[in-house]
Structure 1
Amino acid sequence: MNYKMRGRGEKDEFVFKDSSIGLIRLLCFLILFVIGIIIGLTSSSHVDRYFITSRPDNFYTDYTTAAPAPSYAKTATYDQNCSTNSNCKNDDCLSMESFRMPKNLTHRMTDNELFWRASMVPDKPEYPFDRVPKLAFMFMTRGPLPFLPLWERFFRGQDENKYSIYVHSNPGVRLDYENSSVFYQRQIPSQDVKWGTVTLVDAERRLLGNALLDFSNDRFILLSESCIPIYNFPTIYNYLIGSTHSFLDSYDDPSRYGRGRYSRRMKPDIKLRDWRKGSQWFEIHRTIGIKIISDTKYYNLFKSYCLPSCYPDEHYLPTFVHMFYGDLNANRTVTYVDWSLGGPHPATFGADDVTENLIRSIRNNGTNCAYNKGKTSICFLFARKFSPSALDPLLGLASSLLGF
């Protein structure tokens, strides 16, 4: 066999050629890879440009048109505060000021969304702002407030950092107040309320939820359109802010109007021994307010089993607070009501009934009430039920007796 011998130089030449070919192939691959990336990025930018310029307007319009509006959105006019980018250019929608105290009470939240938002409790104990505790005056009314002039005088000249106002009226009722009024734009989104049904509890919780959005609100007072203050603002403010207890009526009534309304279907979560009754006109601390709007379990039991002739507004809060937060409650109300006539409704005071003696008798009826660790002769701060005809006589007593 003949083998062709090659010299050392020939071998080196072949090795060099193989290396050159491999390097050229690698460079070609890299060039093609880079060109592919460039083409891909260019194509992507064209696709993005197409969607940005041609899709969002139509897409957003279709989406918002298809979305159902809340049930109460049809009955009120809403200011879309911080709901669009254009408004946020003029107002910092993520500012601490707008978060700790909403500037506008109109919103499109459902009750569940509202309660979830209002139930948030900061874990950090220090406030990042100068917090002055406020009284939240929550009015539940069917229509206009007949004692508006009296309440205007009550709030006149007082520190606006010490109080806030919320009004829940029937849907479709537009309460137009002058922009100089403390009630201006203080109406919250509302829903239908029927006497003797759980919708009264819904309205109470809705007022609480909206008031809790203001982190400075510390005490919450439920009032009706027939309620009046029987002391001036400084007296009421100091009394409530200084109290270590809430004032929610809660007692055991063994009659058919109390225990007789209990449903055994509430067992085992609510037992007969837990059942309580009380006036719906309460004053509570923020701690209890958050627990009330956060409750689902016990509210649903009342909604299902405390039906007409049970009156949920007289039993839900007295029972719920008694079961879990009794130590924080004084078990009495600070709103006077005259039940001496009997029947399902209290006595109504008209123009002829309003005298200085009436107000003094409500203020001091000869009894002392528990307050913190002692006793006080001031048991009531508000009173009801007054008819619209009582306005003029009350205004006549405001400066001389009521102190405002």
Structure 2
Amino acid sequence: MKNNQNPSITSLFKLFNAPLHLSNLLSLTLFFLFGLCFGIILTFHLKNVQFNLQFTQFNSTAGADAGSGNGNGNISVPVTSPPPAPERVGLKTYLTPEKMMHDMTDEELIWRASVVPKVREYPYPRTPKVAFMFLTRGPVVLSEMWEMFFKGYDGLFTIYVHSSDSSANVTVPEDSVFYGRRIPSKEVEWGKVNMIEAERRLLANALLDFSNQRFVLLSEACIPLFNFSTVYTYLMNSKHNFVESYDLEGPVGRGRYSPKMAPIVDIEEWRKGSQWFEMDRDLAVEVISDKKYFSVFHDFCDGQCYADEHYLPTFVTKLFGETNSNRTLTFVDWAKGGPHPTKYNRNDVTEEFLQKLRNDRSCEYNGKKNQICHLFARKFTSHALDRLLRIAPKLMQFNL
């Protein structure tokens, strides 16, 4: 039985059970080192086999992608970029739109602009601004004069341009106050209801900025008659709106009324006035929110009715007459008669003429007599611009 035992095992057994001598200790050390080296080599070999297997699988996949790609043999390794930081949407984003252009429909725009805070106190420092709204066919041809008017008063005004010409913004220099101020616009025809739609579109876009408190409608042929500080103070301190409204007999007054408008609008409520208005924020919200009266004008005031001369005078007088001054702040000369007012060319512009417009007559302002009746005037052509630039700044004391 003993003779059948393996001699090497017996020797190993004896080695572990023999007294611990120096030779035995050396043998154990060599045996331990041999086992450690063997384990390290085996581990490295297994890892290398695993890496080669993964690389082979990746190379097969990349080769298949390259075969179905551009065919140039290059392997494209996708690089995943870190997710963008979330955009901060705070109160400022809601209060002041950064860009004029948007993709809202008129219905969406009017709904958005008609949202009114129930809390009247503002939870942020607010400087009231005047919204200057230009209803034009193309560029604002007298923009150089307006540039002088606005200079130095950033933060007290905003500009909006509604132009039927889609290329109007191309010619505006980047350093101009009119650059990028064109709103999404549609075609406007003289005397048609779409002119009222354009006015409402301007008001709605201007209402998106909660700092706008007063709203002035102007044309490309309008000029200011006073410097900015005078205009701003006059508007901000006014207790009334400025929508011209009067009852006029004859074919160009009551003669334009359609009996189909009754009973929403009766003939006794029919009014006429200039389309060039100025109003506060409360009235502007009411104008864009109106469906009842606007639909009547939309359906029955077309052709020879000229909705732009009757809708606002009738609507404001009927519903908000106590807040209205019944006059316009924009001087227009109809003395020559006809469908269009007098145009002013280069030879018409003199210091005496402009002074006369500035002191035309005495008007009521906040219940008292006031020497200023008009803040603006029209209808000036582009040929009058050079004289306006020479005379107006000194006369009107721009930049003071």
TM-score in same-fold range (> 0.5): yes
Structure 2: unaligned runs, 5 residues or longer: 1-81
Out of 353, 359, 374, the residue aligned to residue 354 of structure 2 is 359
Alignment equivalent of 1:185, drawn from 180, 202, 213: 180
Instruction: For residues 49-92 of structure 1, give each alpha carbon's deviation from its aligned partner in whole angstroms, at most 9, with x where no partner exists.
Output: xxxxxxxxxxxxxxxxxxxxxxxxxxxxxxxxxxxxx9994742
User: What letter is aligned with 1:283?
Assistant: E
In 2: Cα distance, 1:186 partner to 1:178 partner: 12
- Residue matched to 1:400: 394
**Corresponding position of 1:382:** 376
**Which of 198, 204, 216 lines up with 2:193 in the alignment?**
198
Q: Which of 221, 241, 244 does residue 239 from structure 2 map onto?
A: 244
Superposed, 1:5-404 pairs within 5 Å as 89=85, 91-92=87-88, 94-158=89-153, 160-176=154-170, 177-365=172-360, 367-404=361-398
| Number of residue pairs the alignment of both structures matches | 316
SS in 1 for 2:279: strand
CA contact (8 A) 2:148 2:393 kept: no
Cα deviation code 1:14-51 (max 9, x no counterpart): xxxxxxxxxxxxxxxxxxxxxxxxxxxxxxxxxxxxxx
SS at match of 1:139: strand
* Conservation of the 8 A alpha-carbon contact between 2:134 and 2:218: yes
User: CA offset at residue 253 of structure 1?
Assistant: 0.6
Cα distance, 1:130–1:260 mapped onto 2, change above 3 Å: same
With over 3 angstroms needed to count, the CA separation of the structure-2 counterparts of 1:171 and 1:397, relative to structure 1, is closer
TM-score by length of 1: 0.76
Aligned equivalents of 1:88, 1:245: Cα separation in 2: 50
Separation (CA, whole Å) in 2 of partners of 1:183 and 1:174: 11
Q: Secondary structure at the match of 2:216?
A: strand
Q: Which whole-Å CA distance do the structure 2 matches of 1:181 and 1:172 have between them?
A: 18
CA distance in 1, matches of 2:83, 2:371: 52
Structure 1 window deviating more from structure 2 (166-175 vs 338-347): it is: 166-175
* Structure 1: distance between partners of 2:175 and 2:263: 53
Give the direction of change, closer, same or farther, for the CA distance of 1:90–1:181 in structure 2 (3 Å limit).
Answer: farther
CA distance in 2, matches of 1:88, 1:248: 50
Identity %: 51
CA distance in 2, matches of 1:313, 1:216: 27
Could you tell me how far apart the structure 1 residues matched to 2:284 and 2:374 are? Answer: 21
RMSD between aligned residues:
1.5
Q: CA separation in 1, counterparts of 2:85 and 2:209?
A: 23
Q: Distance in 1 between matches of 2:370 and 2:87?
A: 47
CA-CA distance at 1:223 after TM superposition: 0.4
1:344, 1:89 → 2: CA distance?
58
Query: Normalised by the size of structure 2, how large is the TM-score?
Result: 0.77
Q: Which runs of 5+ in 1 are unaligned?
A: 1-85
Structure 1 counterpart of 2:392, which letter? A
- Distance in 2 of aligned mates of 1:330 and 1:107: 35
Distance 2:183 2:204 in 1: 10
Q: Deviations over 1:355-383 (max 9, x none)?
A: 01111111112x21110121101000000
Q: Given the superposition, is the C-alpha separation of residues 164 and 89 from structure 1 closer, same or farther in structure 2, using an over 3 Å criterion?
A: farther
Are residues 112 and 345 of structure 1, via their aligned partners in 2, closer, same or farther at CA, if it must alter by over 3 Å?
same
Q: Secondary structure at the match of 1:342?
A: coil
Distance in 1, Cα, partners of 2:168 & 2:138: 8
Amino acid at match of 2:369: K
1:101-134 superposed Cα distances (whole Å, 9 cap, x missing partner): 1011111111111111000110112111111110
Regions of 4+ moved over 2 Å: 86-92, 171-174, 176-179
Tell me the amino acid that sits aligned with residue 344 of structure 1: P
Cα distance, 1:88–1:274 mapped onto 2, change above 3 Å: farther
